[in-house]
Amino acid sequence: MLLPLCVVAEQLKSPNGNLTMTFKVNNGFPYYSLDFKGKAVIKDSRIGLEIKNDSGLMDGFVLKDSKTSTFDETWTPVWGETKTIRNYYNELAVTLAQPQHNNRYIIVRFRLYDDGLGFRYEFPKQDHLNYFVIKEEHSQFAMAGDHKAFWLPGDYDTEEYSTMTSKLSEIRGLMKSAVTENVSQKVFSPTGVQTALQMKTDDGLYINLHEAALKDYPCMSLNLDDSKMIFESWLTPDAQGSKGYMQTPCTSPWRTIIVSDDARVMLSSNLILNLNDPCKYTDTSWIKPMKYVGVWWAMITGMNTWSYTNATSIKLGQFDYSKAVPSGTHGATTENVKKYIDFAAAHHIPGVLVEGWNVGWEDWFGNSKEDVFDFVTPYPDFHVDELHRYAAERGVELIMHHETSASVRNYERHMDAAYKFMADNGYHAVKSGYVGNIIPRGEYHYGQWMVNHFLYCVTKAADYHIMVNAHEAVRPTGLCRTYPNLIGNEAARGTEYEAMGGNNTDHTTILPFTRLQGGPMDYTPGIFDTKLTFLDAIGRKDHSFVHSTLVRQLALYVTMYSPLQMAADLPENYNKHLDAFKFIEDVPVDWDDSRYLEAEPGDYITVARKGKGTDDWYVGNTSDENGHSSVLKLDFLDKYKKYEATLYCDAPNAHFRDNPGAYVITTKKVNSRTVLKLKAAPGGGFAISIKAVK
């Protein structure tokens, strides 16, 4: 056999040798491939970019230079799943030049970890490559088979889809059914999917495709050529269809491929965080993980409203709320908020979120209304000063809410005043929202314009020592390492959907493999009245329910890692189960260690975590509709210490559909040699607190 003369190849091994990345230039086209223990993860895949009004950065390349290096550093996150994180990789940086374009060149940088590969395009400053506009990025990910995939339809504006589980070859046929009617979902292609995309091969490999460090670049989705099983990058366009305005020197985000034959490794991977830049802030003392309750579930379920009146059209500054007739359903009243403050204070919950406190909610949605909120004017029945004082006296602080209605110019115009209002009134965290179509009209939630905006909010908030929890923002890509005041994101179907039709029962066994790869999610767990019986009382019988047992709601505080965790149910529902609520009260939101004990996407996840600065451990399991039996060795405990465990378990007859509220709480002395046999009910789980005996 004759190899073509023009093939040039470079190989790179992961530190432990399990992964091999091969890069080559063949007839001017650059390719890479990836093997794990001799199995193909990514077959020969082309890389390159199509440029507007230019022949592009796709072909005609020669390998001008290549450099390998090794990096090994252990860093300490401001908050996280573990106290320290090791960033250990071998790197290959190839310089690709185009002789026919005055030798303009790009660098493709590959970083190979033991748990996967990251690569990105780098565009150094040079005379013949300065400003350019990306027409499309063509990074391929050629799959070696028709894998099982956990996928969401590709969409420029929303990630709030139920995860589809199917073979890659089935995506096209299932696409239509994957889209929910009556929701603003719009797929961009019959085989387009979002990242993070989790797959499993027939021979037991887990593969995850995503991106890291998405800054000043459009968010990437993937389009599948299902005749060849090749994924290709598909960037989010702007209002004119362009996909990225670039000025050298600049880079693309990292394209990430996490791979292992052990599902638990997928969950403990720090590859995406490691590919992000170190923290940009010198002082991070003001960034504090926290739990919170809030005036929210009552609105999501329809018991209360965000709006104060039944008016149908408001012009801020012109509508006189003081003379308006209240609807009587407003949730964010001073009186009601005080109940939440009281509950939070009684149970050591530091934060109280209040949505619907500010004027403008009467017609905020669906009108492409630009001047929709001002973020500083409270409704007449919400007393900012009084609530600030009341909360502060009880050691609690309010969490701000900025729904923008996706009216982004309006938000940016008010941002300084809004953040200053927060600083003046004792708010240190904001939940922001971007529901609806983006203004400037024609832009998408995941385009470069909005990617830029979301980070602008975070860095500007940092100036005011404000933490940001952005909903309907672009899916996270590990930026929380660099900007750790980005303390939360939604970017997937959260608990709110349990009140709007429900989530799949296996939803929380998938999210840590997909959505959470890029950063924590404000999933808002903790619904105790999973059947929403409080709605029956007000005559609403047709509502949906939470596809989970009560115990699994506890477990989510451990399985869904987040430095910001809501206890989302109504205080009156918690007051009926204060024994179970004790777990929420106890569970930390920041950790020194995390051990993924069992995991299979779509089936179950069991994780043990050690509370930050303590000797206490917390274990959580979430299971799908089949339930799960666990045999847990507590060998992660200090073998010289004794512990008392409190086990929050589904009752033997518990079931997410028929008997979700049946739980058993037991206590038990345990040590590092203890083996626990536990059973999660269908749609159930378990939660354990293991406190060191002093």
Binding-site size for its own copies (CB under 8 A) equals: 32
State the Cα–Cα distance between residues 147 and 151, nearest whole angstrom: 12
Sole binder of its own copies in the list 81, 355, 443, 529 (CB under 8 A) = 443
> What would the two tokens of residue 655 be?
């079931």
Per-residue x/- track, 360-399, its own copies (CB under 8 A): ---x---xxxx-----------------------------
Sole binder of its own copies in the list 176, 228, 280, 441 (CB under 8 A) = 441
If binding is defined by CB under 8 A, does position 593 make contact with its own copies?
no
Stretch that binds its own copies, among 124-132, 291-299, 467-475, 599-607 (CB under 8 A): 124-132
Write out the catalytic residue numbers: 496
CB of 317 to its own copies, least distance (A): 12
State the Cα–Cα distance between residues 489 and 476, nearest whole angstrom: 7
- Residue 541 main-chain phi, psi, to 5 deg: -105, -15
Stretch that binds its own copies, among 155-163, 234-242, 387-395, 577-585 (CB under 8 A): 234-242
Sole binder of its own copies in the list 40, 93, 97, 133 (CB under 8 A) = 133
CB of 127 to its own copies, least distance (A): 8
Contact 594, 608 (CB under 8 A): yes
Sole binder of its own copies in the list 444, 449, 574, 583 (CB under 8 A) = 449
If binding is defined by CB under 8 A, does position 248 make contact with its own copies?
yes
If binding is defined by CB under 8 A, does position 217 make contact with its own copies?
no
CB of 422 to its own copies, least distance (A): 17
Sole binder of its own copies in the list 7, 239, 392, 578 (CB under 8 A) = 239
Q: Which is nearer to its own copies, 136 or 397 (CB)?
A: 136
If binding is defined by CB under 8 A, does position 228 make contact with its own copies?
no
State the Cα–Cα distance between residues 401 and 408, nearest whole angstrom: 15
- Could you write out the DSSP letters of every residue in 58-85? SSS-EEEEEEEEEEEEEE--SS-SSS-E
> What would the two tokens of residue 372 be?
């929709």
Q: Kindly compute the dihedral angle of the four CA atoms of residues 684, 630, 607, 632, in this order, to the nearest 10 degrees.
A: 150
Amino acid at site 637:
L
Strand order in the sheet with 429-433: 486-489, 467-470, 429-433, 397-403, 351-354, 290-295, 564-566
CB of 304 to its own copies, least distance (A): 24
In the block, residue with structure tokens 């354990």: 688
State the Cα–Cα distance between residues 417 and 375, nearest whole angstrom: 8
Stretch that binds its own copies, among 30-38, 442-450, 616-624, 674-682 (CB under 8 A): 442-450
**Helix, strand, coil % (nearest 5) of the chain?**
20, 35, 45
If binding is defined by CB under 8 A, does position 26 make contact with its own copies?
no
Q: How many CB atoms sit inside 10 A of residue 281's CB?
A: 16
Q: Which residues contact 149 (CB under 8 A, 6 or more apart)?
A: 164, 165, 166, 167, 168, 171, 193, 197, 198, 199
Stretch that binds its own copies, among 172-180, 311-319, 340-348, 576-584 (CB under 8 A): 311-319
Sole binder of its own copies in the list 277, 416, 572, 638 (CB under 8 A) = 416
CB of 415 to its own copies, least distance (A): 9
Interacting residues toward its own copies by CB under 8 A: 125, 127, 130-131, 133, 238-240, 242, 245, 247-249, 312-313, 315, 363, 367-370, 409, 412-413, 416, 440-443, 449, 452, 456
